[in-house]
Amino acid sequence: MKKAIIGKKVGMTQIFDETGKVVPVTVIEAGPCVVAQKKTADKEGYDAVQLGFEDTAEKKLTKPEKGHFEKAGVEPKKHLHEFKLDDAAEMNVGDVLKADVFAEGDHVDVTGVSKGKGYAGVIKRWGAQRTPTSHGGGPVHRHAGSMGSSTDPSRIFKGKIGAGHMGVDQVTVQNLDVVKVDPEMNMIVLRGAVPGPKGGIVYIKSTVKKIVEKHAAAGVSVNPQKASGRNPQKASARSH
């Protein structure tokens, strides 16, 4: 993991890029985060730092939490999270990370807790199909239906889709690109949606995906509706 920061989801909006196209974006209040603890390979067996985000009142802390911050000599923080960063060995307790750890064009993975949907049926939760509504059918059009278990094995196999609690799960969305960074406003703008409600805590990390830059040949369209986009070699051969 190269870079990381803790943030809070502000909400979604849309902006226009340099070509005039509308880009759906999520605005995140990222940092400032303070290093509350440093772990080293000599002592803990690995290099990592614990980041703290969002100030909180000391009276809201437990005694162990209070002692943890007093030992580090940093102001009490509401949220703590550990990251294994490439430069963790070079960082020290008390260092501050701001939104400018990332730059425009970076690709990131965002982890958050998804919105809670309550108790949901199989159609909403799993995308199951309802029964036809013609010729009766009774009040069971959105029910799960028969589970199909007979004398052998006389049970329902694990993993069978069904109604139940939906949402409030840790979700990671990978490979979102950074559209804009404003360190003065502690703001990071990402293309697309991220998990969780407004005000939800998210963890932004450098993506684990391998980024491959695509370069179109000169004079060849990338539009698949055009001949040059479907088969550039044939299109170039016809043009000569």
> How does strand 118-120 pair with strand 201-206?
unpaired
Confidence of residue 119 (pLDDT cuts 50, 70, 90): very high
pTM of the model: 0.79
Query: When comparing pLDDT for 146 and 125, which is higher?
Result: 125
C-alpha–C-alpha distance, residues 11 and 28, integer Å: 7
C-alpha–C-alpha distance, residues 12 and 110, integer Å: 15
User: Tokens 């943030």 — which residue?
Assistant: 7
φ and ψ of 68, to 5 deg: -60, -45
C-alpha–C-alpha distance, residues 35 and 68, integer Å: 12
- How many other CB atoms sit within 10 Å of the CB of residue 176? 20
- List, in order, residues 6 or more apart from 124 with CB less than 8 Å away: 117, 166
Statement: residue 238 has pLDDT above 60: no
- List, in order, residues 6 or more apart from 146 with CB less than 8 Å away: none
Q: What is the pLDDT of residue 187?
A: 92
Q: What is the pLDDT of residue 19?
A: 85
Confidence of residue 150 (pLDDT cuts 50, 70, 90): confident
C-alpha–C-alpha distance, residues 145 and 131, integer Å: 9
Statement: residue 2 has pLDDT above 90: no
Q: What is the pLDDT of residue 24?
A: 93
Confidence of residue 234 (pLDDT cuts 50, 70, 90): low
Q: Any idea what DSSP says for residue 194?
A: -
C-alpha–C-alpha distance, residues 59 and 57, integer Å: 5
Written as one letter, the residue type at 137 is G
Tens digits of per-residue pLDDT, 24-45? 999 999 879 999 888 888 888 8
Range 144-152 average pLDDT:
80
- Tell me the Cα Rg of the chain: 25
For 74: left if phi > 0, alpha if psi spans -120 to 50, otherwise beta; the answer is: beta
Statement: residue 127 has pLDDT above 80: yes
- How many other CB atoms sit within 10 Å of the CB of residue 203? 20
Q: What is the pLDDT of residue 113?
A: 95
Range 131-142 average pLDDT:
84
Q: What is the pLDDT of residue 233?
A: 62
Establish whether the linkage from the previous residue to 76 is cis, with ω within 30° of 0. no
C-alpha–C-alpha distance, residues 206 and 7, integer Å: 14
Tens digits of per-residue pLDDT, 76-118? 989 999 999 888 888 888 888 888 898 888 999 999 999 999 9
Of the candidates 51, 61, 70, 36, the one whose C-alpha atom is nearest the C-alpha of residue 5 is 51
Tens digits of per-residue pLDDT, 8-28? 999 999 999 888 889 999 999
Q: What is the pLDDT of residue 58?
A: 87
Tens digits of per-residue pLDDT, 167-218? 999 999 999 999 999 988 999 999 999 999 999 999 999 998 887 776 655 5
